[in-house]
Amino acid sequence: MAKKPFDPRADLPYPEYTDGHYRPVEKDDSVVFDKDYPYVDKSKEFQKKVRTTRLLLNLLVFPFSYVRLGLRVKGKKNLRENKELLKKGALSVSNHINVWDYIAIMNAIRPFKPHLLVLKENVLGKDGPLVRQVGGIPIPENDLQATKAYLKAVKGLLNEGGWLHMYPEGSLWEFYRPIRPFKKGVAYLARTADKPVVPIAFSFRKPSWIRKKWFKQRAKLTISIGKPIFVDHSLPTAAEQEEDLLQRCHDAVAALAGLSEEENIYPAIYDHSKRIDY
């Protein structure tokens, strides 16, 4: 019988709703995310900063992350076997369980260089420039023209062969093993841009005594990469195509995370879903 994946079961104040936030978010209204904001910044000055950041990631951060997270990567062959397809543009989804998990994803899917959809608060404040330089794209709120500009920029990125990562659970819940319901944004983008979605999942391994006692590490991380998932254009409506895609993406992430059908306790699609105490 296969060994059951480790569950760190952190005692954290997970919110009532599955997309809720419990970590404080720094707020700063000095930047306006309107129709003129460069959601995908192609300027020479910014791209120079991106290249410098990428060099530091490759030389220092990625090697350190392997050690610090106890990182293990599975499924790289799914990227190699679909390299030519993914070079034409792709999305990816994963559970969101560690403040470093995007660094792990950037590391795992190399040589692809992903962008990441983020809450606008993550681009504001002291870490904002770094978030942008590693590919962060803020999501505007309550502004129709800004939303149109943001969607145009994101679809342009995908159509030019870019990679866009999304956390469809909607928020970070550290060390939480179940896969929470997914919001529909990734399915909409995959359908309208007609790009595949790569499922990625984080699971946990029991830390050694040294990691647990000396470094206060609750769990080591395994990242598993699945095969690309495609929109089923044979379904009659856009809504059915998106719901079907979201269901298959959620199932794939749950399976990659080592969850059995019985352990996959949440519905695939977010509908003001509430936390289940398991």
Q: Read off the tokens for 216.
A: 């206060």
Question: At residue 1, does pLDDT exceed 60?
Answer: no
pLDDT tens digits along 34-46: 999 999 999 999 9
Has residue 36 been placed in a domain?
Answer: no
Q: Which CATH number goes with the domain that contains 58?
A: 3.40.1130.10
Rg (CA), the chain: 18
- Convert 164-192 to b/e letters by CB count within 10 Å (16 or more is b): bbbbbbbbbbbbbbbbbbbbbbbbbbbbe
Has residue 32 been placed in a domain?
Answer: no
Q: What is the DSSP string of 79-148?
A: HHHTHHHHTT-EEEE-----TTHHHHHHHHTTTS-EEEEEEGGGGSSTTHHHHHHTTEEEEP-S-HHHHH
Has residue 19 been placed in a domain?
Answer: no
Cα separation, 224 vs 47, whole angstroms: 30
Question: At residue 146, does pLDDT exceed 90?
Answer: yes
pLDDT tens digits along 152-162: 999 999 999 99
pLDDT tens digits along 31-76: 889 999 999 999 999 999 999 999 999 999 999 999 989 999 999 9
What does the pLDDT read at residue 214? 85
Regarding pTM above 0.75, the answer is yes
Q: To the nearest whole percent, how much of the chain has pLDDT over 70?
A: 97
Has residue 139 been placed in a domain?
Answer: yes
Has residue 151 been placed in a domain?
Answer: yes
Helix-helix angle 101-108:62-69, to 10 degrees:
120
Q: Total domain count for the chain? A: 1
CA distance readout (Å), 43 to 12, 156, 159: 41, 15, 19
What does the pLDDT read at residue 223? 97
Question: At residue 175, does pLDDT exceed 70?
Answer: yes
What does the pLDDT read at residue 2? 58
What does the pLDDT read at residue 203? 97
In sequence order, which ranges of the chain are alpha helices (DSSP H)? 44-56, 62-69, 76-81, 83-86, 101-108, 128-133, 144-159, 185-193, 209-214, 238-256
Has residue 80 been placed in a domain?
Answer: yes
Has residue 64 been placed in a domain?
Answer: yes
Calculate mean pLDDT across residues 121-125.
85
Has residue 12 been placed in a domain?
Answer: no
Cα separation, 181 vs 133, whole angstroms: 29
What does the pLDDT read at residue 97? 97
Question: At residue 29, does pLDDT exceed 80?
Answer: no
Q: Which residues span the domain enclosing 125?
A: 44-171+179-256
Q: Read off the tokens for 277.
A: 């105490």
